[in-house]
Amino acid sequence: MKNTLKILILTLSFSWGCTQNTQRNERVEYTTDPFPGEAGKTLDSHTRWDMWDKPAEGFLGEFVRVPRDEVVGFALYTHQNGKLKITAQLYPLKPEESREVRLEMKKNDQWEQVQKVDVVYPGWSAHFEIEDWDDSNDVPYRVLHGQEASFEGLIRKNPKDKKEIVVASLSCNSNQNRENRNAIVSKLKEQNPDLLFFAGDQSYDHKEHTAGWLLWGKQFKEVIRDRPVVTIPDDHDVGQGNVWGESGKKADSPAGDTGGYFYPAEYVNMVQRCQTSHLPDPADPTTVDQGITVYYTSLNVGGVDFAIVEDRKFKSGPAGKIPQMGPRPDHITEEGYDPAKVDLPSLTLLGDRQLNFLNEWGQDWTDTEMKAVLSQTAFCGAVHFHGSMDNRLLADLDCNGWPQTGRDNALKAMRRAFATHLCGDQHLSVVVKHGIDEFRDGPFAFTNPAIVNTYYGRWWWPKDEKAGAGAPINTELPWTGDYLDGLYNKITMYAYANPDFSTVKAMRDTLKRSEVNLGDGYGLIRFNKESREVTFEAWPRFADLSQGDAGQYPGWPIKFNMEENDGRKPVGYLPTLQFNKTNPVVQVISEETGEVLYTVRVQGESFQPPVYAQGKYTVNVGENKPDGWSKKQVTFGEDQIMEVSL
Ligand SMILES: [Fe+2]
């Protein structure tokens, strides 16, 4: 069986340059009703196959009717472990036009066709998968349709030789301004990140994802064409104000607060197909209710391993499950409430299977020096005003601060791998250090600014306008330090980028003026593999890069060592481990609780493992996973040495 597999892979590996035909019907057939049911009738109305018989309506209706040499809108890719996945996004094709989309690679200055596939409808996406990809060289690619349309870019080599891996983090692409995003794109081209992460709300055109997605691609194509991109859809991308996915159940309203998805599964799956098909294969492709697909996975870029997490899909909806303590089931305003009333054992955040994935991912350090977790939203509610500065809420349950036990479990999984968290969604950029049992004992997290912050405003504004407790943060910003969020989660605020306005309307009125501060822009995160230092940068939309760090939001950049993502205070150390190989992976497990304390690739030839309580520990060591050496019943031994032979 193994031999057969090998032969198949070898055959595929030599198929470069040959045409891999896909079965294709001669007669073009489109589904008349791609989204069943009443709620599906009006979805994607600007991009239906029969749109050509109807007049164009509004901006999006006009926008999607492009000259035929522009029908290949953009393409997204990632590659990992020899598999290259590319999604090409097409504008709506006319019924008489070919559905065939071709992929070519440039080799020895010659374009060679590598694969051709049919466009998928609904959604007008085309999905290429190339096996046995050699990631050691930059390779130009282009996606073609018909005789005229082409989109060209560059498959970058794996940047594993770079000392520093740079990630740009973006989200919340307000549809109040449909113009270009050149103010951001030009800076990104200069900063040249190795990976782009779009955390969600790429489109706010709830019922018109395909048109909104095409617009997003047009806005960012000059920077997405030549580097790997992670896009994950958030609530607005699937047409809802909020999503508590509850493993794919059917929601009873677009508010979705009883849990689930309101629009047909076919629409949700189309959104996920367009936005996530180019990611590495799902860790576990088992669908959830209604056949809704699942994409959580991981992507290693140059030695930084990113877990890509779906923090909405499995989460419980609040309505009917917890007591309402505010104007809406998801908004809490009742001061002094008992947080245990909303943190019930029956409630889910990441879901067991995804939490298991995260814990397993944390133990695998193959080709990995540092780790980070990418997800839609923040594991706290680091916000006071929502929508306008006269709407102070204690808590908004549309964040991963709730349910609190799920939040703690997710943060513990990150801490076990010294992982940094990156997210979007909030429209208020902050850096917090999470507290799980104690303040500052958890990982650092960076919520990026909104791309254009005119959809929904948020502000960090403690009621007493005072600094938080604990050791002072070295910053010019006044309201930093230890706080409880409205769910009584422990957070330490390091930096926040409030807009200089008190209403979204005022922000919309000034959105094109470069001299005003809307708190929008993007994040840039630097992972230094040598020093293990992480740097968070927050760049205003209209920032001037020539000003250097002074061009960033006040309070940024923020630097910390990856080890600080585990902020627990050691009560002692196990014996010093002396390795016969450099930089192995070390894991410490408590024998009392069975809990993995941490799994990390250490630097050098020795390491003294810290522990946080008296007791007996199992120590595992290995080259990529902690599977090469094991010792049980290890206890404190400050002066002892243990030889580890791998
Ligand atoms: Fe958003």
- Residue with tokens 């955040």, as numbered in its chain: 349
Distance 616 CA to ligand 1 centre (A): 47
Distance 46 CA to ligand 1 centre (A): 22
pLDDT bin (cut points 50, 70, 90) of residue 16 is very low
Same domain, 310 and 459: yes
C-alpha–C-alpha distance, residues 30 and 50, integer Å: 9
Residues 585 and 644: beta-carbon distance below 8 Å: no
458: helix, strand or coil? strand
Domain limits for position 349 = 164-565
Query: Does an H or E element contain 187, and which?
Result: helix 182-191
Alpha-carbon distance 257 to 336, whole Å?
A: 23
Q: List the structure tokens of 69.
A: 């040499």
Question: Does the structure show a pLDDT above 70 at 177?
Answer: yes
Per-residue pLDDT at 18: 36
Cα 565 to ligand 1 centre (Å): 26
> How far, in Å, is the centroid of ligand 1 from the Cα of 594?
39
Position 637 scores a pLDDT of: 83
Whole-number Å distance, alpha carbon 225 to ligand 1 midpoint, is 24
How far is the C-alpha of 250 from the C-alpha of 254, rounded, in Å?
10
Q: Cα(236) to centroid of ligand 1, in Å?
A: 7
Which pLDDT band, with edges at 50, 70 and 90, does 32 fall under? confident
CATH number, domain containing residue 320: 3.60.21.70
Tell me, in angstroms, the distance from the centre of ligand 1 to residue 30's CA.
Answer: 32
Together in a domain, 233 and 316 = yes
Instruction: Give residue 484 CA to ligand 1 midpoint distance, Å.
Output: 24
Q: How far is the CA of 422 from the centre of ligand 1 (A)?
A: 15
Domain termination site, one of 565, 591, 615? 565
Distance from the CA of 614 to the center of ligand 1, in angstroms? Answer: 45
Q: What pLDDT, in 10s, does the model give residues 283-332? A: 999 999 999 999 999 999 999 999 999 999 999 999 999 999 999 999 99
For residue 495, which of 539, 441, 561 has the smallest C-alpha distance? 539
Phi, psi of 92 (to 5 degrees): -55, 135
Whether the predicted pLDDT of 254 surpasses 60: yes
Which whole number is the average pLDDT over 360-369? 98
Report pLDDT for 623: 98
pLDDT (average), residues 134-150: 98
229 and 168 in one domain? yes
Q: How far is the CA of 248 from the centre of ligand 1 (A)?
A: 21
Residue 465's closest CA among 399, 388, 389? 389
How far apart, in whole angstroms, are the C-alpha atoms of residue 499 and residue 8? Answer: 56
Q: Are residues 116 and 195 in the same domain?
A: no
486 and 608 share one domain: no
How many A from CA of 451 to the centre of ligand 1? Answer: 9
For residue 15, pLDDT beyond 90: no
Query: Which residues of 110-211 form beta strands (DSSP E)?
Result: 110-118, 125-130, 139-145, 149-155, 164-173, 195-198
**112 plus 242 within the same structural domain:** no
CA end-to-end span of the chain: 31
CA of 425 to the centre of ligand 1 (A): 5
Domain stop point among 155, 184, 216 = 155
CA distances (Å), origin 237, targets 205, 267, 285, 645? 7, 10, 21, 51
Tell me: do 245 and 346 sit in the same domain.
yes
Question: Of the residues 155, 181, 214, which one is the last residue of a structural domain?
Answer: 155
How much is the average pLDDT of 64-88? 98
Q: Which residue has the tokens 């769910």?
A: 487
As a whole number of angstroms, the distance between CA 323 and CA 315 comes to 17
Burial, 353: exposed, middle or buried (Cβ in 10 Å; 0-12, 13-18, 19+)? middle
Domain holding 620: CATH number? 2.60.40.10
Q: Which two tokens stand for residue 115?
A: 């694969």
- How far is residue 591's CA from residue 418's CA, in Å, rounded to a whole number? 21
Q: How far is the CA of 454 from the centre of ligand 1 (A)?
A: 10
Whether 31 has a pLDDT exceeding 90, the answer reads no
Instruction: Give the three-state DSSP class for 133.
Output: coil
**Is the confidence at residue 4, as pLDDT, over 60?**
no
The CATH number of residue 19's host domain is 2.60.40.380
193 and 323 belong to one structural domain: yes
Residue range 419-444: average pLDDT?
A: 98
Strands annotated E in 108-148? 110-118, 125-130, 139-145
Ligand 1 centroid to residue 398 C-alpha, Å: 11
Q: How far is the CA of 173 from the centre of ligand 1 (A)?
A: 7
Same domain, 612 and 596: yes
Tell me the mean pLDDT in the region 554-576: 97
Examine the domain organization and report whether 148 and 218 are in the same domain: no
Q: Residue 399 pLDDT more than 50?
A: yes
Ligand 1 midpoint to CA 428 (Å): 10
Please say if the pLDDT value at position 85 is more than 50: yes
Q: Is the pLDDT of residue 510 over 80?
A: yes
Tell whether the torsion through CA atoms of 385, 386, 390 and 392 is positive or negative. negative
Separation of alpha carbons 646 and 628, rounded Å:
6
Question: What is the distance in A from the centroid of ligand 1 to the CA of 367?
Answer: 34
Q: What is the per-residue pLDDT for 638? A: 73
Q: Collapsing DSSP states into helix, strand and coil, what is residue 247?
A: helix
Query: How many independent structural domains does the chain possess?
Result: 3
Q: Are residues 535 and 576 in the same domain?
A: no
pLDDT of 427 higher than 80: yes
From ligand 1's centre to the CA of 447, what distance in Å?
A: 12
C-alpha of residue 497 to centroid of ligand 1, in Å: 16
Residues 6+ apart with CB under 8 A from 325: 332, 333, 334, 337, 341, 342
Average pLDDT of the chain, as a whole number: 95
CA of 387 to the centre of ligand 1 (A): 12
Question: Would you give the DSSP letter of residue 138?
Answer: -
* Cα-to-centroid distance, 426 and ligand 1 (Å): 6
Q: What per-residue confidence (pLDDT) applies to 28?
A: 57
Residues 130 and 86 occupy one common structural domain:
yes
Residue by residue, DSSP assigns 37-82 as: SGGGTTTTGGG-GGGGGS---HHHHHHT---GGG-EEEEEEEEETT
- The CA 481 to ligand 1 mean position distance, Å, reads 26
What is the per-residue pLDDT for 345? 97
Question: Residue 250 pLDDT more than 60?
Answer: yes
> Nearest 5°: CA angle at 131, between 126 and 133?
105
**Ligand 1 centre and the CA of 234: distance in Å?**
8
Residue 455 CA, ligand 1 centroid: distance in Å: 7
Q: How far is the CA of 427 from the centre of ligand 1 (A)?
A: 6
Cα-to-centroid distance, 180 and ligand 1 (Å): 18
